[in-house]
């Protein structure tokens, strides 16, 4: 579009021979029709990388409380019809089996985009607070470093909450298992901070983004709107976190993910 505006200014400023004018106009029309002028080769859309291939769990590691790494108890994490599912159909009761599925690697500066929804009924025995509750963990410890009976990785959690059909219940909140953050120049030690998002009732798909800049600004974004912002993520002992693992939770309510993709940012 910049090229088009520039050429239009040149055409309006200088008198050009009719043949030259027609040639330029023809070139502009052809360029627009083929998309060359409107879609640069380095379009930002081309930089998004899907972490979930829609077929299987290749590239992911499973850790469930009380079980060894990659013991996917009850087939909790599975892929069906192109959807990554958290399922409890093989459970008699939840029994404290908190699960996480980790993507391989460590990440520092990025935007993570996830499309999710809650479905069905909560697993019997799941805690009351976990009704339509799940999360995305960032700047986390590795799956390998988690203890066998550890419930949650030390990490920053983008909490996903679904409405109960009546009450207001924001999503894209912040929870801090083993961590703290700084907001408005103050160290925040409380476990969860609510976002400014609206409530999403029912089984609708929700798009959530996490924009991470190392140990600096982190933003929670719901359907394109920033709903929470903070900085300086750190462990409880004050050790600053500039990078870490990315994982998805399983906290007792069936959840579906149809998109998990990342855009790496320059440091």
Q: Are residues 25 and 142 in the same domain?
A: no
Q: Is the dihedral of CA 123, 128, 134, 137 positive or negative?
A: negative
Residue 45 pLDDT level (bands cut at 50, 70, 90): low
Q: Are residues 78 and 209 in the same domain?
A: yes
What average pLDDT does this structure show over 44-69? 94
Q: Are residues 14 and 116 in the same domain?
A: no
Residue 238 zone, left/alpha/beta (φ > 0; ψ -120 to 50; rest): left
Q: Are residues 15 and 142 in the same domain?
A: no
Cα 251 to Cα 99: distance, rounded to the nearest angstrom: 7
pLDDT of residue 46: 80
Q: Are residues 132 and 102 in the same domain?
A: yes
Q: Are residues 51 and 31 in the same domain?
A: no
Q: Are residues 96 and 19 in the same domain?
A: no
Q: Are residues 75 and 173 in the same domain?
A: yes
Selection from 265, 210, 208, 245 nearest residue 60 by Cα:
245
β-pair partners for 138: 156
pLDDT at 223 over 50: yes
DSSP string, 5-58: HHHHHHHHHS---HHHHHHHHHHHHHHHHHTTTTS-TT-GGGG-EES--SS--T
Q: Are residues 17 and 115 in the same domain?
A: no
Residue 267 pLDDT level (bands cut at 50, 70, 90): confident
Q: Are residues 65 and 178 in the same domain?
A: yes
The CATH number linked to 191 is 2.60.120.560
Q: How many domains does the chain have?
A: 2
| pTM of full prediction above 0.85 | no
Q: Are residues 34 and 60 in the same domain?
A: no
Q: Are residues 7 and 52 in the same domain?
A: no
Range of the domain at 138: 46-264
What are the pLDDT digits (tens) for 91-150? 999 999 999 999 999 999 999 999 999 999 999 999 999 999 999 999 999 999 999 999
């Amino acid at each position: 579009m910049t090229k088009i505006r520039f050429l239009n200014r040149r055409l309006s400023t200088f008198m050009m021979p009719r043949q030259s004018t027609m040639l330029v106009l023809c070139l502009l029309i052809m360029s627009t029709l083929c998309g060359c002028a409107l879609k640069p080769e380095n379009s930002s859309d081309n930089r998004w990388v899907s972490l979930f291939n829609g077929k299987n769990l290749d590239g992911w590691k499973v850790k469930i409380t009380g079980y060894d790494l990659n013991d996917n108890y009850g087939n909790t994490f599975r892929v069906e019809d192109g959807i990554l599912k958290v399922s409890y159909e093989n459970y008699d009761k939840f029994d404290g089996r908190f699960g996480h599925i980790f993507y391989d690697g460590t990440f520092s500066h990025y935007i993570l985009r996830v499309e999710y929804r809650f479905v069905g009924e909560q697993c019997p025995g799941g805690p009351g607070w976990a009704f339509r509750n799940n999360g995305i963990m960032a700047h986390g410890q590795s799956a390998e470093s988690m203890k066998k009976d550890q419930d949650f990785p030390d990490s920053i959690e983008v909490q996903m909450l679904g409405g109960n059909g009546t009450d207001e219940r924001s999503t894209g909140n912040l929870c801090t298992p083993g961590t703290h953050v700084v907001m408005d120049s103050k160290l925040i030690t409380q476990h969860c901070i609510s976002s400014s998002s609206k409530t999403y009732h029912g089984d609708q798909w929700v798009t959530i983004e996490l924009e991470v800049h190392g140990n600096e600004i982190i933003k929670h974004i719901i359907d394109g709107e920033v709903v929470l912002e903070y900085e300086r993520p750190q462990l409880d002992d004050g050790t600053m976190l500039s990078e870490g693992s990315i994982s998805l939770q399983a906290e007792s309510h069936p959840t579906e993910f149809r998109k998990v993709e990342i855009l790496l940012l320059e440091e």
